[in-house]
Amino acid sequence: MKTLTTLFRNNIREYGMLIALIAIMVFFQFQTGGILFKPVNITNLVLQNSYVITMALGMLLIIVSGWIDLSVGSVVAVVGALAGVLIVRYHLDWVVTVAICLLVGAAIGAFQGYWVAYLKIPAFIVTLAGMLIFRGLTFVLLQGESVGPFPRGFQNISSGFIPDIFNGSLNGKPFHVTTILIGVLLSIILVVVDMRARKNQQKYGFEVTPFYFSIVKNVVITAAVMGLCYLMASYKGLPNVLVLLFVLITGYAFVTSTTTIGRRIFAMGGNEKAARLSGVNTPRLLFYTFVNMGVLAALAGLIVAARLNSSTPNAGDGMELDVIAACFIGGASASGGIGTVIGAVVGAFMIGVLNNGMSIMGLGIDWQKVVKGVVLLVAVLFDVYNKNKSS
Amino acid sequence: MSDAILEMRNITKTFPGVKALDNVSFSVRQGEIHALVGENGAGKSTLMNVLSGIYPHSSYSGEIYFQGKECRFQNIHDSEKVGLVIIHQELALVPFLSIAENLFLGNERAKNGVIDWNESFSKTKELLDRVGLYELPSTLITDMGVGKQQLVEIAKALAKKVKLLILDEPTASLNDNDSEKLLELLLQFKANGISSILISHKLSEVNKVADSITILRDGATIETLDCKKDNITEDRIIRGMVGRDLTHRFPPREKNIGEVVFEIRDWNVYHPLHEDRKVSNNINIKVRRGEVIGLSGLMGAGRTELGMSIFGRAYGTRISGTAYKHGKEIDISTIDKAISNGIAYATEDRKAYGLVLIQEIKNNITLANLEAISDGGVVINEPKEMTITSQYRDKLNIKCSSIRQLAVNLSGGNQQKVVLSKWLFANPDILILDEPTRGIDVGAKYEIYTIINRLASEGKAIIFISSELPEILGVCDRIYVMREGKIVGEMPASEASQEKVMKYIMTQTQQEVVEQ
């Protein structure tokens, strides 16, 4: 049991976050009279927060690099506007439009990244300027009015579900068998990957967690995956957005934790000069970090537009704050070099659950902001307290 | 001991799991300079923190008497009130404020919150005269060198009516000239009745100015030497510090010097901000296989600038000149290219430039050669990384609880070994070591010298930059002397002596003065 407590102590940040998230979910489950965990609400929760999570992935890398991006809310708007104008006014094919929009996002990121990485202007200033510029351009593009509606295909980016190839049903109601199958497949993959990693560690003679702990961990994860899939299957199945999110989160978690490029980003954020003197091309790396953010912000912009089924001048207003808050709640350090993708995702879910739960309870938007602010402060306090205790 | 200005009796201070000070007694006589020496981690700083109230009275056991009265300091203000001022190694000045503003920070010459600038400036001038610093009181701290900043710190102590001045490694970042000046000042204070405690790793200066020397080892007082009575040599002090005779301060090396590996010709570098100022002026140096060459000179002579400019133009602008490896011209225009051409540069400032302090030891060691521990050059193979970095830990004797410990929690000597490991793992042929032993204790220095020797005998070419002449003489095969961006002398170590090297540095300076 000793290893278990040390394991917990060493990972108190991650486990603490998860426990807090679960506690909040349970709290709202009771407060809302069981609405929170209803399949339709879970689906809504995912859809509503997909853009915050998408952008949190990019923002995490920026924050780990030691900077910040205030412009993402405006980039969401300008890309959404561009999509609206191209599809509705110019009748361009939506697939082509999506490609153009992502490229524009990359260009926006490159523009801001150039100012930060090569001209050495602090990102706070550059992206504050970007926030104004791109919001302004949104109004120019849309001429101050909303543009819509979008064709079905485009809408499906955010409001579609993966098709059920089995046309399944359960107790007379439609039941999405494909979703369950994907869940099973995913669970198997997760267990196999975990076991292989464990074996690899043993092969090199490193301490591993006790076997029973591995089993418990895998059972919990499998239960969570299957539970979620079951809930989804009894509604309309897996939303397209959730599949997209899953791919993105896995990809970014992998890149940040186990590739050379991830290692270099963390080194750059921890000590830019030391990283540069170790042969890391830090300006180029920072530049691409901003390009990446631009692409993800563009993707979020498309999801927002598809979900609202129109491009509006005020889309994404204030969204940058939710995204940044998600990263900090998730344990990222404002001075750079520290943070995890999973933390940022859990942070984003935390904000999402708070938004969703409080809305269902009928709490006004005014008090919602107060609560979110307090949660952000408490989470960071928890971090600082832990850090002081361990040193 | 009736003339003692300070007596600390039976001080014991424990941190969780460690007894940092064990029943330490320490006393300073009125009007003396008392040196406090010991290896890193011997407890010098802890003792001074206890004395100055950084650790409040309740957190340790033992008694402190200052001028005969028992003191129970709760914080640093209490100790300053009675005339005890500590000057830390890292200076505590606000860079973008003037000298006058810094001197009276928290102690402003003001009426009802409105600063009386006339009084501030005239008082500042008075204090600056006393420390021999001739600068305008309105000069910003950031515009002055470290040596002058140190003097401002001392003037600040004078402003607080100091009776006992504590200096923690005051000359660590000063050149010989400024160090000399500072020590003179201490002697002058002594004549005026101000006592000092001097913490220093530089035994030559301890020997020069101290009246008594107290040696700490492993949190306990070993002995107090009286410099007037006994004839104290540096070796005598070292013996007390390490608890054994270091008969050889520099380990011997079997010399096996081969052909020229690396050479730079007509190397010119300009200052990055003042673009008309040359920091490297027409430099030609070469280094052979298995050879250690030394770059000697005063601080600001352009040694670091030269080293960094060679390393992928990490410093300076308008760099011209050519570099050759094994007689063939190589491209070292970026750090990346320099590394792939087998050049490594271990920085003089390991905290700011050498390490990612908030990361694990292993991440620091592999940072310059990540491809080597990655599958396909992209995906990091962590078990492999752990295995390899553990080997370096054992080979270089890095003392740590785990290879996953954060670099910030290591002592200076062990941090330096991590920096060295990083560059050894990058497997260079030419290794530029910039002040690799700065601020680390005698034992760790010996280990670093041993590592340098081993590398040289493995056939690497080493460029060794140091401000400490004995070290240059003890480690190098050949010595270049630099002054104001130029090479002003070159000699084999066998023909060199401290006096000879100093003469190259100093006489040239005097010539220059005459010329002007």
- At A36-62, the pLDDT tens digits run 888 888 888 888 899 999 999 999 999
Instruction: Count CA atoms within 13 Å of residue B302 on its CB side.
Output: 26
Read off the pLDDT band of B361 (50, 70, 90).
very high
SS3 state of residue B22: strand
Using a 10 angstrom Cβ sphere, with 0-12 exposed, 13-18 middle and 19 or more buried, the burial of residue B301 is buried
CB–CB of A123/A116 below 8 Å? Answer: yes
Task: Name the β-bridge partners of B275.
Answer: none
Distance from the Cα of B381 to chain A's closest Cα (Å) equals 8
**Chain A: residue whose CA lies nearest to B368:** A278
* pLDDT of B229 strictly over 50: yes
Of A4-13, A259-268, B231-240, give the lowest mean pLDDT range: A4-13
Rounded to the nearest 10 degrees, the angle between the axes of helix A319-329 and helix A365-390 is: 30
B30 lies in the same domain as B150? yes
Interface of B with A in 377-406 (CB under 8 A): 377-380, 382-384, 386-387
Confidence at residue A10, expressed as pLDDT on a 0 to 100 scale: 63
**Contact across the interface for A259 and B380, Cβ inside 8 Å:** yes
Q: Which of B352, B359, B422 sits opposite A266 (nearest CB)?
A: B359
Question: Which residues, in sequence order, are CB contacts of B192 under 8 Å at separation 6+?
Answer: none
- Span A246-274, mean pLDDT? 94
Q: Which of B311, B358, B378 sits opposite A338 (nearest CB)?
A: B358
Residue B495 included in any domain: yes
Q: If you average pLDDT over every residue of chain A, what do you get?
A: 89
B175 lies in the same domain as B237? yes
Q: B407 CB near a chain A CB, below 8 Å?
A: no
Residue-number span of the structural domain to which B501 is assigned: 259-342+429-441+462-516
Question: Which residues, in sequence order, are CB contacts of B83 under 8 Å at separation 6+?
Answer: B66, B160, B161, B162, B163, B164
Fill in the amino acid letter for B84: L
Instruction: Count CA atoms within 13 Å of residue B213 on its CB side.
Output: 28
Q: Which of B367, B378, B379 sits opposite A278 (nearest CB)?
A: B367
Instruction: Count CA atoms within 13 Å of residue A54 on its CB side.
Output: 27
**Chain B: residue whose CA lies nearest to A206:** B383
Task: Name the β-bridge partners of B34.
Answer: B197, B212
- Kindly report the length of chain B: 516
Residue B115 included in any domain: yes
Strands B33-37 and B195-199: parallel
Tokens linked to B418? 């991590």
Report pLDDT digits (tens) over B15-56. 765 678 889 999 999 989 999 988 766 788 889 989 988 888
- Domain end point (choices B211, B242, B273): B242
Q: A287 CB near a chain B CB, below 8 Å?
A: no
What's chain B's Rg over C-alpha atoms? 25
**Contact across the interface for B379 and A259, Cβ inside 8 Å:** yes
Read off the pLDDT band of B374 (50, 70, 90).
very high
Confidence at residue A9, expressed as pLDDT on a 0 to 100 scale: 65
Rounded to whole angstroms, how far apart are CA atoms B294 and B449?
13
Residue B210 included in any domain: yes
SS3 state of residue B251: coil
Task: Name the β-bridge partners of A169.
Answer: A174
Confidence at residue A6, expressed as pLDDT on a 0 to 100 scale: 66
- Span A166-185, mean pLDDT? 82
B279 lies in the same domain as B216? no
* pLDDT of A269 strictly over 50: yes
Confidence at residue A12, expressed as pLDDT on a 0 to 100 scale: 67
* Higher per-residue pLDDT: B179 or A251: A251
Q: B91 CB near a chain A CB, below 8 Å?
A: no
* pLDDT of A248 strictly over 50: yes
Read off the pLDDT band of B1 (50, 70, 90).
very low
B311 lies in the same domain as B183? no
Task: Give contacts of A275 with chain B, Cβ < 8 Å.
Answer: 356, 367
B79 lies in the same domain as B196? yes
Q: A192 CB near a chain B CB, below 8 Å?
A: no
* Higher per-residue pLDDT: B420 or A202: B420
Rounded to the nearest 10 degrees, the angle between the axes of helix A39-64 and helix A319-329 is: 80
Query: If we measure between CA atoms, which residue out of A291, A232, A206 comes closest to residue A44?
Result: A232
Report pLDDT digits (tens) over A83-135. 999 999 999 999 999 999 999 999 999 999 999 999 999 999 999 999 999 99
Distance from the Cα of A265 to chain B's closest Cα (Å) equals 11
- Reduce the secondary structure of B398-419 to three states and give it as a string: CCCCCCCCEHHHCCHHHHHHHH
CB–CB of A319/A328 below 8 Å? Answer: no
Task: Give contacts of A338 with chain B, Cβ < 8 Å.
Answer: 358
B306 lies in the same domain as B201? no
* pLDDT of A174 strictly over 80: no
Report the percent of chain A where pLDDT is more than 90.
Answer: 56
**Chain A: residue whose CA lies nearest to B332:** A279
Rounded to whole angstroms, how far apart are CA atoms A165 and A187?
20
Domains in chain A: boundaries: 16-160+239-386
Confidence at residue A44, expressed as pLDDT on a 0 to 100 scale: 86
Tally the domains of chain B: 2
**Chain B: residue whose CA lies nearest to A281:** B336
B164 lies in the same domain as B216? yes
Read off the pLDDT band of A389 (50, 70, 90).
low
Confidence at residue B515, expressed as pLDDT on a 0 to 100 scale: 46
Tokens linked to B313? 């133009």
Confidence at residue B17, expressed as pLDDT on a 0 to 100 scale: 57
Tokens linked to B242? 């390490």
Tokens linked to B448? 């670093």
* ipTM of the modeled complex: 0.85
- Tokens 């940072």 map to which residue? B367
Domain A16-160+239-386, classified CATH 3.40.50, yes or no: no
Rounded to whole angstroms, how far apart are CA atoms B203 and B171?
12
B324 lies in the same domain as B209? no
SS3 state of residue B343: strand
Tokens linked to A237? 């199945």
Task: Give contacts of A261 with chain B, Cβ < 8 Å.
Answer: 378
* pLDDT of B246 strictly over 60: no
**Contact across the interface for B409 and A338, Cβ inside 8 Å:** no
Confidence at residue A141, expressed as pLDDT on a 0 to 100 scale: 94
Confidence at residue A65, expressed as pLDDT on a 0 to 100 scale: 96
Task: Give contacts of A266 with chain B, Cβ < 8 Å.
Answer: 356, 359, 363
* Higher per-residue pLDDT: B501 or B87: B87
Rounded to whole angstroms, how far apart are CA atoms B168 and B203?
14
User: Which runs of consecutive H residues, i.e. helices, occur in B303-372?
Assistant: 303-310, 335-340, 361-366
B67 lies in the same domain as B142? yes
- Tokens 């890309």 map to which residue? A79
B144 lies in the same domain as B204? yes
Confidence at residue B516, expressed as pLDDT on a 0 to 100 scale: 42
B213 lies in the same domain as B291? no
Confidence at residue A7, expressed as pLDDT on a 0 to 100 scale: 64
DSSP annotation of B69: E
- Span A62-77, mean pLDDT? 96
Residue B372 included in any domain: no
Read off the pLDDT band of B222 (50, 70, 90).
confident
Rounded to the nearest 10 degrees, the angle between the axes of helix B412-425 and helix B382-396 is: 120
DSSP string, A215-228: HHHHHHHHHHHHHH
CB pairs under 8 A between A and B: 85
Report pLDDT digits (tens) over B67-101. 988 989 998 888 888 989 998 877 788 888 999 99
- What's B313's domain CATH number? 3.40.50.300
Read off the pLDDT band of A277 (50, 70, 90).
very high
Read off the pLDDT band of A1 (50, 70, 90).
very low
Q: A281 CB near a chain B CB, below 8 Å?
A: yes
Distance from the Cα of A60 to chain B's closest Cα (Å) equals 17
SS3 state of residue B280: strand
DSSP string, B165-208: EEEESTTTT--HHHHHHHHHHHHHHHHTT-EEEEE-S-HHHHHH
Residue B141 included in any domain: yes
Q: A203 CB near a chain B CB, below 8 Å?
A: yes
Distance from the Cα of A210 to chain B's closest Cα (Å) equals 18
Angstrom distances, CA of residue B255 to CA of B292, B375, B436, B452 = 10, 39, 21, 12
* pLDDT of A326 strictly over 60: yes
Task: Give contacts of A201 with chain B, Cβ < 8 Å.
Answer: 383
* pLDDT of B345 strictly over 50: yes
Report pLDDT digits (tens) over B280-329. 989 999 999 999 999 988 767 889 999 999 999 888 888 899 999 999 99
Q: B359 CB near a chain A CB, below 8 Å?
A: yes
Confidence at residue B245, expressed as pLDDT on a 0 to 100 scale: 54
Interface of B with A in 270-329 (CB under 8 A): 311-312, 314
Confidence at residue B45, expressed as pLDDT on a 0 to 100 scale: 83
Testing the interface with B: which of A120, A199, A257, A278 to mutate, by most B Cβ within 10 A? A278
Q: Which of A260, A267, A281 sits opposite B378 (nearest CB)?
A: A260
pTM: 0.81
Confidence at residue A177, expressed as pLDDT on a 0 to 100 scale: 86
Confidence at residue B250, expressed as pLDDT on a 0 to 100 scale: 84
Q: If you average pLDDT over every residue of chain B, what do you get?
A: 86
Confidence at residue B457, expressed as pLDDT on a 0 to 100 scale: 92
Read off the pLDDT band of A281 (50, 70, 90).
very high
Distance from the Cα of B371 to chain A's closest Cα (Å) equals 7
B229 lies in the same domain as B278? no
Confidence at residue A120, expressed as pLDDT on a 0 to 100 scale: 94
Confidence at residue A210, expressed as pLDDT on a 0 to 100 scale: 77
Task: Give contacts of B357 with chain A, Cβ < 8 Å.
Answer: 270-271
